[in-house]
Amino acid sequence: MKLFSTNKKAASATFEKAVMQGLAEDGGLFMPTEIPTLTPNFFAKIDTLNFQEIAFTVAKTLIQNDIPEKELEKIIYESINFDAPLKEIKENIYALELFHGPTLAFKDFGARFMARIMSYFINKTAKKITIIVATSGDTGSAVASGVYNVEGIRVFLLYPSNKVSKIQEQQLTTMGGNIQALEIDGTFDDCQKLVKEAFLDQELKNIFAENNDSLASANSINIARLIPQSFYYFHAYSQLKKIFGPNMEPPIFSIPSGNLGNLTAGLIAKKMGLPIKKFIAANNANDTFTEYLKTGNFTAKPSVKTISNAMDVGNPSNFVRIQELYQNNPEKMRQDIWSASFSDKETAAALKKVFEKYNYIMDPHGAVAYLGLQAYLENSPAPVTHNTKNASVNNPLIFFETAHPAKFLDIVEPIINQKIPIPDRLAACLTKEKITTKLSKNFTDFKNFLAKNAK
């Protein structure tokens, strides 16, 4: 697999380099120079394959011989070791539940896969790496859980003070071992900026290199985080085909979007040949992408706080990758992607309605995606029929449930007026002591901290 930088100034990179470095030298994001398509035979029998078999085929096709097949298979079987089931909410509308991993959010897929890919590469060279990652909540715990106790890797988690839920903060700050939480006095965008700056700082790089260590990224900018997120689009398709049969119309996916990593992975899946009619990028009040599709102008904004806080991103980092996929052409993008944004009030109302009418508890992020589907059905220029199970006229409608509602107890419980049972793996961290290092949003403070910790 060969990759190029979206800034076009850096030379092309191998998969190993792209993963270990995260960001290209010119500050761009890595993208595959070629996205191969899967065979007709794969699609013909996709409904006979399980999730891991599907993931392995997709990974092998994309990554090719950068990792020997046996190793790659092992990495897949260890990282994709929980399901992503489709749940029918009402006729022809399904939730794809992506929260059955160890930290109850879809970011477990990317984090577990990336940790094992990195571990494979560092074992080859006997080096150490220090992952720095900015998190708006879920990324951090997923990355921490993914690399916990993996030899040669340690993690610094940067999170915005007072801007993640209590439960998320407990998940981030109680792991110990090779995981250290940094509580930043700022927003998620400030955290992300610190991480980006650190990667471009030559002096820091040298200090780490002297210690046989290097800085690595784990945000959705890392290509190894993105790749496994395409697997569950194929798996969803496979499950749908079992329901609707071989003549199924291509599905429509609604994705609750922040940094647009999940959406980008879906677009890659489509490029690999997966039949998808439309993607819906559902935004909360942070509507930079919605506005872009509407106007053709991309205007980054400061993030605003919402009840779907993992999507509180004003300057989505994967936007440049999407531009690459569509040659900077918003008109082409609109053929595949539709977008709308929703207020907290609308999100809460949808959560309540779906619980009362269909007895299904969404989390606030899933609720935004559900709203995206509804709005698309109302506004779509060529309305999709959605009132019968006749597969020949139906586009199955899927929204992503990206986190377990118990991760957002304080938001969800008052809305549905009901207690949510807390899964054991979440309850375990709630009683542990929070340990953090507090830092300002100043790069100098962060740099000094890293430099001190490199020695």
Ligand X SMILES: *Cc1c(COP(=O)(O)O)cnc(C)c1O
Catalytic positions, written as ranges: 107
Helix H or strand E encompassing 172? helix 166-173
Question: Stretches 162-170, 259-267, 321-329, 337-345: which one binds ligand X (CB under 6 A)?
Answer: 259-267
CA 59-60-63 angle, to 5 degrees, is: 75
- Check residue 220 for interaction with ligand X (CB under 6 A): yes
Residues 170-209, interacting with ligand X (CB under 6 A): none
DSSP calls for 224-250? HHHHHHHHHHHHHHHHHHHHH-TTPPP
Q: In what order do the strands lie in the sheet with 13-14?
A: 13-14, 2-5, 30-32
Site mask, ligand X, residues 357-376, x = CB under 6 A? Answer: --------x-----------
CA-CA-CA-CA torsion for 228, 232, 237, 241, nearest 10 degrees?
A: 120
Residue 423 Cβ, how far from ligand X at the closest point, in Å? 15
Measured CA to CA, the distance from residue 1 to residue 272 in angstroms comes to 14
Phi, psi for residue 99 in degrees, rounded to 5: -115, 25
Give Cα 363 distance to the centre of its chain: 16
Residue 263 Cβ, how far from ligand X at the closest point, in Å? 6
Residues 11-70, interacting with ligand X (CB under 6 A): none
- Check residue 230 for interaction with ligand X (CB under 6 A): no
Q: How many CB atoms lie within 10 A of CB 276?
A: 19
Measured CA to CA, the distance from residue 116 to residue 113 in angstroms comes to 5
Q: How many CB atoms lie within 10 A of CB 162?
A: 9
Q: Which of 311, 320, 337, 450 binds ligand X (CB under 6 A)?
A: 311
**Amino acid at the residue 53:** E
Helix, strand, or coil (residue 454):
helix
- Check residue 403 for interaction with ligand X (CB under 6 A): yes
Question: Stretches 61-69, 121-129, 253-261, 421-429: which one binds ligand X (CB under 6 A)?
Answer: 253-261
Q: Which of 28, 251, 256, 314 binds ligand X (CB under 6 A)?
A: 256
Question: Stretches 66-74, 117-125, 252-260, 388-396: which one binds ligand X (CB under 6 A)?
Answer: 252-260
Q: Which of 261, 271, 288 is nearest to 234 (CA)?
A: 271
Residue 349 Cβ, how far from ligand X at the closest point, in Å? 19
Considering the complex, state which of residue 138 and residue 190 has its C-beta at the smaller distance from ligand X: 138
Q: 7-13: which pairs have CB atoms within 8 A and are 24 or more residues apart?
A: none
Residues 110-129, interacting with ligand X (CB under 6 A): none
**Amino acid at the residue 300:** A
Q: Which of 226, 188, 167 is nearest to 32 (CA)?
A: 226
Considering the complex, state which of residue 310 and residue 362 has its C-beta at the smaller distance from ligand X: 310
Question: Stretches 167-175, 254-262, 284-292, 432-440: which one binds ligand X (CB under 6 A)?
Answer: 254-262
- Check residue 107 for interaction with ligand X (CB under 6 A): yes
Residue 348 Cβ, how far from ligand X at the closest point, in Å? 16
Question: Stretches 179-187, 251-259, 353-361, 376-384: which one binds ligand X (CB under 6 A)?
Answer: 251-259
Considering the complex, state which of residue 92 and residue 402 has its C-beta at the smaller distance from ligand X: 402
Phi, psi for residue 175 in degrees, rounded to 5: -75, -40
Instruction: Please name the residue that has the structure tokens 């918003």.
Output: 330
Residue 105 Cβ, how far from ligand X at the closest point, in Å? 5
Considering the complex, state which of residue 105 and residue 293 has its C-beta at the smaller distance from ligand X: 105
Considering the complex, state which of residue 155 and residue 226 has its C-beta at the smaller distance from ligand X: 226
**Amino acid at the residue 72:** L
Q: Which of 46, 58, 293, 310 binds ligand X (CB under 6 A)?
A: 310
Residue 83 Cβ, how far from ligand X at the closest point, in Å? 17
- Check residue 257 for interaction with ligand X (CB under 6 A): yes
Give residues in contact with ligand X (CB under 6 A): 105, 107, 138, 220, 256-262, 310-311, 365, 402-403
